[in-house]
Amino acid sequence: MKTKCLYVGLVVLVISCPLFGMTEFFVATGGRDINPGTSAQPFATLERARNAIRESKARGNGAVGQVTVWIKAGTYYVQEALTLTREDSGTEAAPVVYRAMPGRAVRLVGGEKVTGFGPVTNPEVLARLPESVRHDVVCADLKGVGLRDFGEVAAQGKRLELFFQDKAMQLARWPNEGFVRVVDVVGETPMTTHGIQGTREGEFTYAEDRPGAWGAEPDIWLHGYWFWDWADSFERVAAVDTEKQVMSTAPPYHNYGYRKGQRYYALNVLAELDRPGEWYLDRSQGSLYFLPPARGTEVEVVLSELPHLFVLQDCSWLTLRGLVLEATRSTAVTLSGGQGNRVAGCTIRNTGSWAVSISGGQQNSVLGCDIYETGEGGVSLSGGDRPTLTPAAHRAENNHIHHFGRIYRTYRPGVSVNGVGHLVRHNVIHDGPHNAIQLSGNDHTIEFNEVYDVCYETGDVGAFYMGRDWTARGTVIRHNYFHDIKGPGLHGAMAVYLDDSASGISILGNIFYRAGRAMFIGGGRDNLVENNVFVDCPASLHVDARGVGWMAYHVQGDGILPTRLRDMPTREAVWRHKYPGLVTLLDDDPGLPKGNVVRRNISYGGTWLDVESKALPLIAFEDNLVDTDPQFVNPRTQDFRLRSDSPAFALGFQPIPVEKIGLYADENRSLP
């Protein structure tokens, strides 16, 4: 279990070099906080190193030059998040850096290591366990080792997780893979949305026999897509009527209601602890039951405990570099306010929520990180001032983000963008159940990213997604590679999804390969689709006129789109100059998708257009090369550069800098 130190033996080195304007501190597993923090006599905790920096600043009237806190190799079980505030800031010329020493990994773990596992001896528990695994399941008493906060099964940021050999284990569930289907809904309050019928209450019938074996389980939960294939939620089971085969969930019910045929599975069921890697926690007794992945395997278990590992509040010019951060219940690094902060070259994994959340401030960045197995999304960027269109200029660059949305499946993208003027570039994002990039706000740049194998569990979904705001304009999506994107749910998947009248976006020089309905304009206007390559897409371009169809109520009167338009100062100089069309939009048939321009694109294989008849005459098509061999260098190897004799060049097509797409080597990242 943990020591009373901030980190289980973190050592910081302290060496002052006034001549060169540098200060260094060291932290190591064998250090002591009464040490001077040198390499030979390091500190034990990062908290002590932080305080030493403050003391150095006090002695030097705030001027200490560049400061580096070197963290020596080892695994550190963190007792409390390191909070850094304004007084811990560096300067642009002399930043404060917390970094791993070269060599073996420096792992900061936000969880408790649990030992003392033994065989299950409680006869009541043995009777509830599946017979095939009764003698393989092991048990530990968490109260006996001092762990009291057991978290919650499904609450965001509070869900306790179990990790074994650095991998998240599965809370006992049924079925072990995939979903079962709602046979029918039997709630008392009917509801109809877009012509689809369901009920408000979570009460439905099931066909399988397994719930009959669960008995009086006290805390069963269901996770499912209850009405739409783009909206999942966890619902607690209130009752199971095994005679009528009716399952009832407890309020508050899912926002959109419940309907026949939708997908769900059950979890936190002791009777379903039947597969290696599954676990169950009896919260009333503090008893942890675990079926190790292999017989004879030494059981080394970590339970997540801390919400965060680093909390940066209004500090500036501070860098976290080269660390492995893991096993938090919420987001590993939260950064609010400040300027010039960086999370660089880190590996962030196995979090209960996000890897890094940046809100407010300016020019804060996540650079060259490997981010995976997060419970929610990867990186969240939020900041800038929309009324004045003042950019925050946060960056997510050169990151490899994959296998995200592990727990909460929808609207937890690899990168979330909100506000004004952020930059998302040179990232590789893949293996997510829903969006890869989700965006709102103005004047962002999304460039040189590779996105693939996302949207794989959902429907009516976009790898890139934004929507329902005429004023969220000025974003450029250029020189990205979207490929192998498909969604199994209703309406499938899109690569770039400008949903519900999203407008004023430039889509330039991207490659779309097997990317669903690749470029999807859902009733929006003033979008530019130029110089893109579409290959083997079910539809290269979709445009509809939903604003004069099913979505008209959102466009008219006090609908959500006019309301959001009125919320922004569109008649003031900065807005009027940048987006002049917003001033007269309400007087210009706002429901019609006017002003979209589609020019100098290549579409080969698949289908070129999927355009509603009302929208077709409103689109300006210019010099597109359709169903003519564009002379790719080697499409079999996904080399979609054009040969010199391509007929597209005669139409004005410009070469796409494909060599720049994706990750690059620098001080934060090595490439094979």
What's the confidence (pLDDT) of residue 251?
A: 96
Residues 495, 592, single domain; the answer is: yes
Average pLDDT rounded to a whole number, residues 612-616: 98
- Per-residue model confidence as pLDDT tens digits over 573-608: 999 999 999 999 999 999 999 999 999 999 999 999
In a domain, 458, yes or no: no
Structure tokens at 488: 């199994």
In a domain, 85, yes or no: no
- Per-residue model confidence as pLDDT tens digits over 253-304: 999 999 999 999 999 999 999 999 999 999 999 999 999 997 766 777 999 9
What's the confidence (pLDDT) of residue 11?
A: 37
Inform me whether the pLDDT recorded for 59 exceeds 90: no
Inform me whether the pLDDT recorded for 4 exceeds 50: no
> Phi and psi at residue 567, in whole multiples of 5°?
-70, -20
Residue with tokens 């309050």, as numbered in its chain:
189
What's the confidence (pLDDT) of residue 2?
A: 40
Residues 152, 295, single domain; the answer is: yes
pLDDT band at 143 (very low <50, low <70, confident <90, very high): confident
Cα–Cα distance measured from residue 274 to residue 577, given in angstroms and rounded to the nearest whole number: 64
Residues 210, 290, single domain; the answer is: no
- Residue 263: give the domain boundaries: 180-271
Residues 290, 146, single domain; the answer is: yes
Mean model confidence pLDDT for the chain: 94
Residues 267, 280, single domain; the answer is: no
What's the confidence (pLDDT) of residue 344?
A: 98
Residues 200, 250, single domain; the answer is: yes
- Per-residue model confidence as pLDDT tens digits over 85-131: 999 999 999 999 999 999 889 999 999 999 889 999 999 999 999 99
The pTM score is: 0.95
Average pLDDT rounded to a whole number, residues 439-455: 98
Number of domains in the chain: 3
- Per-residue model confidence as pLDDT tens digits over 190-232: 999 888 999 999 999 999 999 999 988 889 999 999 999 999 9
What's the confidence (pLDDT) of residue 62?
A: 65
Q: What single string gives the DSSP state of each residue in 324-388?
A: EEEEESS-SEEEES-BS-EEES-EEEEESS-SEEEESSBS-EEES-EEES-SS-SEEEEE-BTTT
263, 282, 302 - which closes a domain: 302
Cα–Cα distance measured from residue 479 to residue 126, given in angstroms and rounded to the nearest whole number: 58
- Per-residue model confidence as pLDDT tens digits over 543-569: 999 999 999 999 999 999 999 999 999
What's the confidence (pLDDT) of residue 104?
A: 86
Inform me whether the pLDDT recorded for 19 exceeds 70: no
Task: Give the residue from 166, 253, 159, 162 showing the smallest Cα distance to 203.
Answer: 253
Average pLDDT rounded to a whole number, residues 22-46: 96
Residues 144, 277, single domain; the answer is: yes
Structure tokens at 485: 């994107």
Residues 627, 498, single domain; the answer is: yes
- Per-residue model confidence as pLDDT tens digits over 342-353: 999 999 999 999
Structure tokens at 9: 């033996």
Cα–Cα distance measured from residue 118 to residue 131, given in angstroms and rounded to the nearest whole number: 18
What's the confidence (pLDDT) of residue 100?
A: 98
285, 302, 319 - which closes a domain: 302
Residues, the chain, total? 672
In a domain, 471, yes or no: no
Residues 144, 198, single domain; the answer is: no
